[in-house]
Structure 1
Amino acid sequence: MTGTCWSVLMRTADLLGLSMRVTLVGVAMLCGSGPVVAEGLPEGAVRATFEAKFPGVTIKQLSPTEIAGWYLVETDGAALEASILYVHESGRYVFSGGLFDLASGRNLTRDYVRRKQQEVLSGLDLSKVILLKPQAEAQREPALRPIVVFDDPDCPFCRKFHPEVKKIVQAGVPVAVVLYPLVRPHPDAYRKSVAIWCAEDRAAMLDHALAGQPVPSPEQPCAHPIDENLKLGHDLHVSSTPSIFLPNGTLVLGHRSAEEILGQVRPNLGLPVGQ
């Protein structure tokens, strides 16, 4: 039964609407009958018990929560918020969904997600992105933290969104484009990403690619960060493009208007709302 434990739990979560992030907490007992282990196990034993019950599921993070006896488990799922589970120290109970502190009105799961995203993005190496800067900052480092956009050169929604990216930059907010080929749906996207990076003018070749124009392979191979970008996206659980990370760590998915993005960014950057 343990071999199907994970799939059963996920189907239960889907039935309860957890994949839709409905504010409902589904509680389930780990597969098996009776207590799995004695209560009060140390963290290492909780990890071992979880991994034994969910073979093939990778634990990326295990940490105690504000609730005594409960641990947050970040798994290797596609979307970060959907990859978080909570497990009791006894190893017997696990639930999937948002954890709320009703006294403070905080969504503790969302708080964790944003902290995690900010932590990963704070180490972003701007030398490995295509940094689109406002005209006034063209010759210097950007004064503001950039919006980070994961782009696939063959993604139709990235192509729709790219003109909006240009409007965001024109409005004074820098954008860091991370070339992130999704090779399963777009087999040629990796080659194109390398070609964009190896181009003499990366921003111009990015424009060319996202306009649906042919992208020639470089005449000479060059060192590129595409594999590192894939790891970065994996750490952030990026599974679709465009994935847009605002400076405060908020993730926005898919094609959005420049005004919608700027409306979320301006207050956090101290910019006038009408700018």
Structure 2
Amino acid sequence: MKLLKSLIVTSVITISLLVANTVQAAPSNVDAKIQAKMLKLGLVASKIEDAPVKGLKQIYTNRGVFYMSEDTQFFIAGRLFDTDDNMTNLTETALSSLRIDGMKEFKDSMIVFPAKNEKAQITVFTDTTCGYCRKLHAQIDDYNDLGITVNYLAFPRGGLNSRSFEDISAVWCSKDQKQAMTDAKAGSKVAKALCSAPIAGHYNLGQAAGVTGTPAIMFEDGTMILGYKPPSELAQILELN
């Protein structure tokens, strides 16, 4: 019976490796129960920790951050705010940590358009067919001139079994990724190619990080804004002026 229980726990941990972050230590009995309950809900728990509210667990999953009572009876999908700390969004704070870890993990697989006199970096979840993604990229020189380095992560809006996945994979698998990105955003066809680019990993990170559309822009501190921002407006947000 002990052996069977150990195999079940090991299987749950193995499944959790599909998302950006993983549980580093063997889960407690409470964590194992929560992982199993989350799987029944169609969610993969990658990290479980005590929530700011006593009796609740904060759960990082492939679809964002959720909360569950330690006995697994109650599940909470929503934002948690601290009313004694200027209504601090504690869920967003948790997501910021997840995003920072994700940016570190996929740093070497980003397509980077660097600023010569860098003042800040942004990491953008992008899709080649998204109109505002194309608008952002058409102004890439303007962002760079303002000192903003643009790092791209892939987020095929159609999912992992879609034409958009194939299209964006072709960009990442091109010998000249930056030119392929520019060509694709201009509407040109990029030749298909096979490689080991972690497009699925980028996409899974985006879903876990709260991306609901493209472009989605992450800052170095892990905060994220959804949608296109013109270069001058983004520079103001980043307090570069």
**Do they fold alike, i.e. is TM over 0.5?**
yes
1:246 aligns with 2:219: yes
The answer as to 2:33 corresponding to 1:48 is yes
Alpha-carbon shift at residue 176 of structure 1 (Å)? 0.7
What is aligned with 2:4?
none
| 1:130 Cα deviation after fit | 1.4
Q: Say whether the 8 Å CA contact 1:69–1:89 is kept in structure 2.
A: yes
* Cα deviation code 1:212-237 (max 9, x no counterpart): 1232335xx55534344334434435
- Asked if the contact 1:62/1:72 (under 8 Å) is kept, the reply is yes
Amino acid at match of 2:94: Y
Q: Deviations over 1:150-203 (max 9, x none)?
A: 111122221122224432112111111123323459943333323323444322
DSSP-derived class of the 2:40 partner = coil
Aligned to 1:258: 231
Q: Measured at CA, do residues 53 and 176 of structure 1 come closer, stay the same or move farther in structure 2, by a change above 3 Å?
A: closer
Match in the other structure for 1:101:
82
Corresponding residue number in structure 1 for 2:102: 120
CA distance in 2, matches of 1:119, 1:159: 27
Question: Runs of 5+ in structure 1 lacking a partner?
Answer: 1-41, 137-142
Task: Give the structure 1 partner of residue 12 of structure 2.
Answer: none
CA distance in 2, matches of 1:224, 1:107: 34
Aligned length: 213
Change (3 A) 1:246 1:216: same
Q: Could you say which residue in structure 2 is the equivalent of 1:30? A: none
Give the counterpart letter for 2:68 in structure 1: V
Change (3 A) 1:132 1:47: same
SS at match of 1:174: strand
Counterpart in 2 of 1:226?
A: 199
The runs of 5 or more residues in structure 2 that have no matched partner are: 1-26
Find the aligned partners of 1:75 and 1:85 in 2 and give their Cα distance.
8
State the alpha-carbon separation in 2 of the partners of residues 54 and 231 from structure 1. Answer: 16
For the residues of structure 2 that align with 1:45 and 1:198, how far apart are their CA atoms?
A: 42
Cα distance change on mapping 1:53 and 1:244 into 2, 3 Å: closer
SS in 1 for 2:229: coil
Cα displacement string for residues 119-169 of structure 1 (whole angstroms, at most 9, x for unaligned residues): 22233323x221101235xxxxxx656211111112222112222443211
d(CA) in 1 for partners of 2:82 and 2:156? Answer: 38
Amino acid at match of 1:55: K
1:72 maps to amino acid: Q
1:66 aligns with 2:37: no
Pick one of 99, 111, 135 that aligns with 1:130.
111
Is 1:154–2:140 an aligned residue pair?
Answer: no
The equivalent of 1:180 in structure 2 is 155
**Residue 205, structure 1, aligned to residue 180, structure 2:** yes
Asked if 1:191 is matched to 2:166, the reply is yes
Using structure 2 for the length normalisation, give the TM-score: 0.72
1:57 Cα deviation after fit: 2.7
Contact 1:98 / 1:107 at 8 angstroms: preserved in 2? yes
TM normalised by structure 1 equals 0.65
